Chain A
Amino acid sequence: MENLHYLMAGISLALEPMNLLFLLGGVSLGTMIGVLPGIGPAGAIALLLPLTYYVPPLTAVIMIEGIMYGAQYGGSTTSILVNIPGEPSAIITCIDGYQMARKGRAGPALGIAAFASYIAGTCCLFGLLTIAPPLAELGLRFGPPEHFALMAFGLTLVVYLARGSMAKALMMLGLGIIFASVGLDPFTSALRFTYDKIILRDGLGLPQVVIGLFGLSEVLLVVEKVFVRTIYETKIKGLLPTLKDWKDSIFPIFRGTVIGFFLAVIPGISVVIPTFISYTLEKKLSKHPEKFGTGVIEAVAGPEACNNASSAGNLIPMLTLGIPTGASSALLLGALMIYGFHPGPLLIKESPDIFYGLIGSMYIGNVLLVILNLPLIGIWVRVLKIPYDILFSLIVLFCIIGAYTINNDAADIYIMVSFGLVGYLMRKFGYEAVPMILAVVLGPMWERALRQSMIIFKGNFLIFFQRPISAVLLGLAILILLSTLFTKKRIGQTILKREPED
């Protein structure tokens, strides 16, 4: 009951005019970005980060989070209508969603996607409220060795779940560690890899790197090909799913929610993998698995609930332990740190207004998104028709301005453009950006935890295995890595294979 009281307080915070306005802006922008291919939520948040300096912390956090789950709604729209996933998390929705649209059932597909997302989003609020505070209590008992082990575990999972070769993913992890160490060494104040450039002293800067890797490189990937795009004219009618649709979908929605939420709590699992698991599970449980792929509604409902639940679950490790699970939540963490908060076990106690305000805003945001995505679906379809040449020129401009306004320094544009090139080449040669960006984000924290533990325990490496929590986490990480030596197959690899390059 106490939680409910806090939730109401959070909702009323979110309903303050300023917060509501930015929430509406965030979810609309998120939907738009979800609909548009070429730029994802991470790139968009990075572009908007400078804007957040001008508003109060809660408002900024509400908007950033709004972009994150708004993109999940928008991503499904294009999957269903044009068979192009706006976001990687909506890839699986393409399979049956697009088939439904071809059969003239685009309306119910869009409808169930929005309702599934709404139901999942709402359920997850209670999940967040029940799980986050006790987990934060547990987090208080974490010392440097436990933090080190937790990050090692998360990063190992990211490498293990990489789509391509694991060795390549490990390479990207190492590269991220190297990029993360650019700048002033926090322990000795030595300058590392700065080459006498003032701009490099504070490190490469997460927003510049993310704008390059997730914004500019996408543009480059599009301009390298002669792009032909076909627009399908689909009549959308009857957005409300029928009673039978509901009967088919309701359990997949709840299963998708549970899968998405709990998997996303594990650092290293993003929003994409749970949707594949949800789809596979629904197919296994279905009485008519052969119909999957021909446009069955539960194959849309499950994964759509799942990706929304994941984006809520992703908040847990970030808010309670200070560990982001992806590029977007890393930027949210970065925004909180700019305001002087310390995301971690103490956040809920020290700044309950941020924690409960954010959760409250997610409820309001989900309501807004249902309104934005059902009656106003026509607008988003029209967004799809923006000519690509104009769209991509605009994204280039936004990338430049986004990088420049971080410090009002043109040198940041060079960092951004370098990482645009790096990101482009990585995708071209089959390297994944996710292990690298997570290493860049976690690098400084990881280094601090590692060096602190080594100093405290005087170079005794065994300490990591003598403390129970870190021993279990590191043991699991080593087990995961070793398992690939004995079995050539990685769990989940078969499902992931079906996922095209995003």
Chain B
Amino acid sequence: MQKSDIFSTLFLLLFSVYIAVVSSKLGLGTLGKPGPGFFPFCGAMLVGISAVVILIGALSKMTHREEVIAQREKTRWWSVSCVLGVIVVFALLLNKLGFVLCTFLMFIFLLRVVMSQRWSKTIVVALCTTVGSYILFEVLLNAQLPRGILAF
């Protein structure tokens, strides 16, 4: 049992308690007439009970000092949050800047900052993919993506 397991399980346990509380407020109903909160309550119970089982198992093993040392691999949290962040920013700016500009800026960011490519390659690839995706989605598939400040 690894430490990260205990944290993730604890988190899910708290989450299930929260869902159970909200579900019972929604109304569990009776057995003959279940309310809207009944089904999510069952789901929360499933999560909660399993979490307790895992935690008990983990704690009893801890006393035996059988902790498995996790393979420490360096995780580039920075890159992961960058990718997640750029998507959120894309969604925020999509209606203002338009699809074409957003796509271009996103590619610049992803290739230069996350994948650390050279500027020359970044710009060429960003231009090509932006034009390519514009042709694919706007012209061929007529996807009606927001135009934003650029007129097309």
Contacts and interface: CB of A to CB of B under 8 A. Distances in A.
Interface of A: 50-51, 54, 165, 167-168, 170-171, 173-178, 180-181, 185, 187-188, 190, 192-193, 216, 219-220, 223-226, 389-390, 392-394, 396-397, 399-401, 404-405, 408, 410-411, 413-414, 416-417, 420-421, 424-425, 428-431, 439, 443, 446-447, 450-451, 454-455, 458-459, 461
Nearest to A186: B36
A454 B34 contact: yes
A187 B83 contact: no
B32 A421 contact: no
B53 interface: yes
Nearest to A390: B125
A133 B16 CA distance: 42
Interface in B9-39: 9, 12, 16, 19, 22-23, 26-27, 30-39
The winner among A192, A219, A399, A461 for most chain B CB atoms within 10 A is: A192
Interface string B62-102: 00000000000101110110011011101110110000000
A80 B43 CA distance: 42
A176 B43 contact: yes
Given A224-B76, A413-B91, A429-B5, A190 B32 contact: no
Contact of A177 (B35, B42, B79, B137): B42
A190 B36 contact: yes
Contacts of A447: 39
Interface residues of B, number: 66
Nearest to A223: B79
Main secondary structure of the interface of A (DSSP, over half): helix
A393 B115 contact: yes
Given A393-B111, A393-B115, A429 B4 contact: yes
A262 to B, nearest CB: 30
B139 interface: no
A408 to B, nearest CB: 7
A165 B12 CA distance: 15
Given A389-B115, A458-B32, 5 more contacts: A171-B9, A171-B54, A181-B43, A399-B87, A450-B39
A174 B43 contact: yes
Contact of B43 (A178, A219, A417): A178
Nearest to B32: A459
Nearest to B30: A459
Contact of B77 (A219, A224, A408): A224
